[in-house]
Structure 1
Amino acid sequence: MNVLRKYGLSLGFLFFLLAGWEWGARLYGKPFILPSPSGVLDRLWELKSILFISHLPATLAIVVIGLLLSLVFGVSLSVWMHKSGIARKAFFPILIASQTIPIIALAPIFVLWFGYSVWSKVAVTVLITFFPITVSTFDGLRSADSHLKEVLRVMGASKRQVFLKVELPAALPHFYSGLKVAVTLSVIGAAIGEWLGADAGLGYFSRRMMTQFDGAGVFAPIVVLSLLGVVLFWLVGLLEKMTMKWRRIQ
């Protein structure tokens, strides 16, 4: 009952959207261009073994490696920029400029540099997920209560203690917000990298189905990619609740 109360409107809108899509696809009558949702589900069931056993692990590996690298470098850079004005002036404009370059234009360059290995796809994923993690964490660190920090300094707290007791807790909500954005973008980054150059993965399989004019086959891995993004988002939300119980109390 609580689930229906919370997600009833979303489920209702999704139902009418899928019903309209089903009706429109059947009326159009060209499934190789516009497959119906039922046709996509049938094709997904037919391809379940190859999608979930062969191609999903390849995409998931890219997502996990890319996110881990973005977390390590993004959090480290945000802390460095927070502590050093020189680092902030040097790297923050470059960080902003990196997001003005179309990812689709850089992906072929990464393929030239790294070949068809996993690292060309990881590079795309890192580039697309690095920004929200870094900027959100940096903003969170800067949002720490200055009066509370001053009180701790007066009481003799070290810089490390101020960071752990005030700045880090203040940054956590912002960090998780950026991570929620990053995990969904990581799926897009992996799919883009696979679309442009790969021999395995959900993005690669979708492109292969397109060359065969299999409309339902194109949509089937896209459904799996969407579900992967939802699961990753849910896992981040669960981790947030586990590590920030104090926020729920407030």
Structure 2
Amino acid sequence: MSLILLLYPTLFLLATIRVSKDTFPSGKGGELKRLQVEQSLVEALRQALAEPSGQRLYKSGKLSGLFPSRHGVHGAAAEQALREGLLEIVRTETKGKTVIEWVRLTPHGVEFLHARESPLYALQELRSTLQLNQQAAPLWLMEMRNSLHALEERLAADARKWLERLDALARRVEETLRRLEQAAPLVPPEVAEAHPWAIDALNYLERRRLAAGPPANGVAGCCPLPELFAALVPQHPNLSVQLYHEG
């Protein structure tokens, strides 16, 4: 302890922040407000220390001031600075209904600022911040779980819609293929009766044409007769060369 007193003799100067119980709501929100007010107060005191001759208490338009606003966190910090004697009013100016206050840093304000710039106070503030984050962690985890659950449901719904579209497309393809396979080129009944292999021959020629793609130079390639005969024999073993040529 003596070592700490030697290195930082002003660590133990008392500078209590007096805030009434009604100033901020209780709980986590009140602690967060307190930290925000103190941060605004420390920043203003640093600025006042840099210009000891005096500055405007509040910023006005393009004119600089220690506090950006008279309301909210900055307004509460300014009221605390005057109430606790951290800043003192050196003069006032009246413009219409607005009173402009000029202030400067007091010795008590210097001690207040030094105490909050010390390593001990920084560690205490870090501890408060860690405690706030620890308290907020369960809520954050719950929100993250809810977000992930909603994302999972959305992805599952999108996947179901996509699979339904794929299934419908697959059914259409299967139906089209079935119709194409069952469809046979129209030939006169007497030709089909006299030459049963004629329908299969026409089907083979059609499949060959589709497999060959667009004809080169607009002229479709011819199927050699031996090739067509070889394609028909597996389906019509009794087909002879003579019957084939007669057809």
- Ranked by relative contact order (alpha carbons within 8 Å, sequence separation 6 or more), the top structure is 1
Verify same fold: TM over 0.5: no
Q: Which has the higher strand share?
A: 2
Q: Structure 2-normalised TM-score? A: 0.24
Q: Structure 1-normalised TM-score? A: 0.24
